[in-house]
Amino acid sequence: MANVTVIGAQWGDEGKGKIVDWLASRADAVVRFQGGHNAGHTLVIDGEVYKLSLLPSGIVSGTMSMIGNGVVLDPWALRDEVEKLEKQGVEITADNLAVADNCPLILPVHRDLDGLRETAAGKGKIGTTGRGIGPAYEDKVGRRAIRVCDLAHLDELESQLDRLCAHHDALRAGFDQPQVDRAALLAELKEIAPFVLRFAQPVWKRLKKVRKAGARVLFEGAQGVLLDVDHGTYPFVTSSNTVSGTAASGSGLGPGSTGFVLGIVKAYTTRVGSGPFPTELEDEIGQTLGEKGHEFGVVTGRKRRVGWFDAVIVRQSCSISGVTGIALTKIDVLDGFETVKICTGYRLNGNVVDYLPSHAGDQAKVEPIYEEMEGWSESTAGARSWADLPANAIKYIQRVQELIETPVALVSTSPEREDTILVRDPFLD
């Protein structure tokens, strides 16, 4: 049986939560391998809505869930999310949730810095969620992070606090802010430590045991390839690598274990925050797509920007991340349009290009080249087989896979778990 790695192949918000939940019911373990609680995954199971930001989507189905070392962990957000799910009847214990003991922590100073920077940047702001994700990753790379394992050794934290505060105090002074209150920070860490340490363990070791037993592992990514710090629309990106290769480094299981790479792709395109968006629609069609698709961020509530499907960026994402097959989501949002469009290339400085350039200025200047297709009036919502789909919807799906040079493995036709057309089983590939 193959393992499966799930990533977003656009700018995030592709519907990963529903697909991961669907796959998690057939997996033995689910692992989050990067990002923080800026990810927003919505699950709808038997009419009940679950909104996750940090916890792996498998937690709702009872699948063993792990937060890998590649994640930056806000311990207070973790507690809030666990308590919220418990109120919805989801049992969460050390038996079904493990947190890597080498995860870096997101601290109040990181949230402070994130907000101060975005406010000061004005029109040049990146459009972060303001949750401290980026500053936490900076401290990880700068070797001044406080990690989950440190919560068991808070009496030995002085030298780490010296490094952390020396950096943040200088930055805070530049924003005319007081120095870090070390005593208050330490008190907050002492208060939250017992909760987090309940789940802390070497996740890499737990995964090794799971794999030796022949179990199936589902690796869950956050955001999307176009937000990757290396391969995305830099600087309007997240602070981690979102590509499939990160599943290995962010979990500790190794590159030979990532298995089938499933790219989640929305049947149109959306983006939250600042940055280039070649197919963005700011007209009535864009408004209609946004309303039908309920395009508001799960975490922030921010309205998403909406546009036609961009085959150029998805083809690029699939190539960069080694996608084996895609899961096409929200096809039902396109129901009722007389015609639909797909971007097949760009014009840049009078030339036709078949990729999104790396330079931000070039990205902002590209003009989409569209192919128009006949739409469909019949409903695709709730379809569970090809026979349930209108002929023109099938033609659209077939054209998408041709243009992105990657086969369709799944088609999602509603937020409900079972409203899924299985074309190719990732676990059996």
Cβ-proximal residues to 398 (8 Å cutoff; 6+ apart), any chain: none
Euclidean distance between the first and the last CA atom of the chain, given in angstroms as a whole number: 8
- Pick from 252, 247, 255: which is nearest to 222 by CA? 247
pTM: 0.92
Separation between Cα atoms, residue 63 and residue 97, nearest integer Å? 9
Separation between Cα atoms, residue 339 and residue 376, nearest integer Å? 8
Separation between Cα atoms, residue 7 and residue 291, nearest integer Å? 25
How buried is 18 (Cβ within 10 angstroms: 0-12 exposed, 13-18 middle, 19+ buried)?
buried
Contact 39, 33 (CB under 8 A): no
The pairs formed by 137-145 with CB atoms below 8 angstroms and a separation of 24 or more are: 137/72, 137/104, 137/239, 137/240, 138/239, 139/104, 139/110, 139/164, 139/167, 140/72, 140/104, 142/167, 145/104, 145/105
Report the sign of the C-alpha dihedral through residues 212, 213, 216, 217, in that order: negative
pLDDT at site 120: 84
**Which residues of the chain fall below pLDDT 50?**
none
- Pick from 390, 375, 386, 391: which is nearest to 421 by CA? 386
- Pick from 142, 304, 120, 344: which is nearest to 224 by CA? 304
pLDDT at site 82: 96
Contact 15, 330 (CB under 8 A): yes
Tokens matching residue 135:
């500053």
Active site residues: 13, 41
Interval 220-269: pLDDT, tens = 998 999 999 999 999 999 999 999 999 999 999 888 888 999 999 999 99
pLDDT at site 331: 96
Interval 322-347: pLDDT, tens = 999 999 999 999 999 999 999 999 99
CA separation, residue 87 to residues 91, 92, 125 (Å): 9, 11, 37
The secondary structure of 70-105 as a DSSP string is: TB-B-HHHHHHHHHHHHHTT----TTTEEEETTPBB
